[in-house]
Amino acid sequence: MAIDVATVRNNFPILHQAVNGKPLIYFDNAATSQKPTVVIDAISDYYKRYNSNIHRGAHHLANVATEAYEQSRDFIATYINAATSAEINFVRGTTEAVNLVAAGMAKELKPGDEILISTLEHHSNIVPWQMACEASGATLKVIPINDAGELLMEEYEKLLTEYVKVVSCTYVSNALGTINPIKEIVAKAHAIGAKVFVDAAQAAPHKKIDVQDIDCDWLAFSGHKVFGPTGIGILYGKTEVMNALAPYMGGGEMIDTVTFEKTTYNRLPYKFEAGTPHIEGGIVLAEALKYMQNVGLDNIQQQENLLLAHGTKLLSAIDGMRFIGTAKNKCSVISFLVDGCHPFDIGTMLDANGIAIRTGHHCCQPLMQRLNIDGTCRASFAFYNTTEEIDVFVDTLKKVVARLR
């Protein structure tokens, strides 16, 4: 069933405005997505009706908030096919999830151990592992890519030795849109005894996530990429793996008993949820995922594939157009450069016409260095975007390019 885009767009109030006197065209979805009315209303409803700190409360509001929060955890577990809701840890986002796991693993690693990441990684899936290596004496190694922005799987297999303890890889590249063969990556790592962390921040808005099918040890995504609030996300972790991992933060909620001599830790998932959480965010994240579920993940993919094909076709007709990232398997992200035009200038002039894209290195400086560029223009589409918006974008870009040359 195809998406009725006009009806869908009516669910997103922010899309119906003018920017610099022009109708807003929002093509920066890989940075953050817009929010449907059901999500906005759910945020307001929480603060209007049952705002309270959760767990351990003896009063009505605390019980209502706790139930809503834990029901959200249960829904998310089902949504990604976790074995149990105890495998769902609420975090601030994918960045915190990577840091949590990397900090815990740093206590298990030793000199001579190795961590593998890929050339495609966001800084958030690079820096925490560098910090883990500094703390443990382990070595960080990198899976190379080809010029199309695809992992060189043969080289990956060569890197998989008995010394590799962790492989941490993005499911979908935020900068190029490349969809990595994540199940194969996981299976090959497990074959040599390594654990696998999957950064699904860019995959979750576009694809159905099934953690048991992927068989990863950890997987994380951020709420603000899946049409939910900022400052919330989830870390999935297999029960046996998370039980063995050291806590990231200490404080309230993550404890069982505390004395001045010793502390024992709470059961999963609370072992990793110190302090008062982003209660509203945790509750509303489920509402955002329910919205996606109602639209239909297959329908979302169909619409976004249409937009990707349409945009690629029209942009390819621009003289001097150079696509950055031409993987055979891609999500709805187009990164490009135009000969003779600086990306920032393009982005600024498009914004003057109400068109929002992202320019720069997209928090992927090592990837840009591999591609021998400083950055790109990036247009990233969501299912609420239209081919008509792409037509306006391309026509405007042509005029921008003519002025810059």
As annotated, the active-site residues are: 363
Q: Please state, in angstroms and rounded to a whole number, the distance separating the CA atoms of residues 166 and 217.
A: 10
- 202 and 170 in contact (C-beta within 8 Å)? yes
**Cα–Cα distance list, 153 to 64, 91, 193, 249, 404 (Å):** 49, 31, 18, 36, 40
User: CA torsion 352→356→360→363, rounded to 10°?
Assistant: 150
Residue 134 CB burial class (10 angstroms; 0-12, 13-18, ≥19): exposed
Residue 258 CB burial class (10 angstroms; 0-12, 13-18, ≥19): exposed
| Rg of the chain on CA atoms, in Å | 22
Q: What are phi and psi of 376, to 5 degrees?
A: -140, 170
- 166 and 196 in contact (C-beta within 8 Å)? yes
Q: Please state, in angstroms and rounded to a whole number, the distance separating the CA atoms of residues 331 and 304.
A: 8
Which residues are CB-contacts of 154 (< 8 A; sequence separation ≥ 6)? Answer: none
Q: Please state, in angstroms and rounded to a whole number, the distance separating the CA atoms of residues 370 and 375.
A: 11
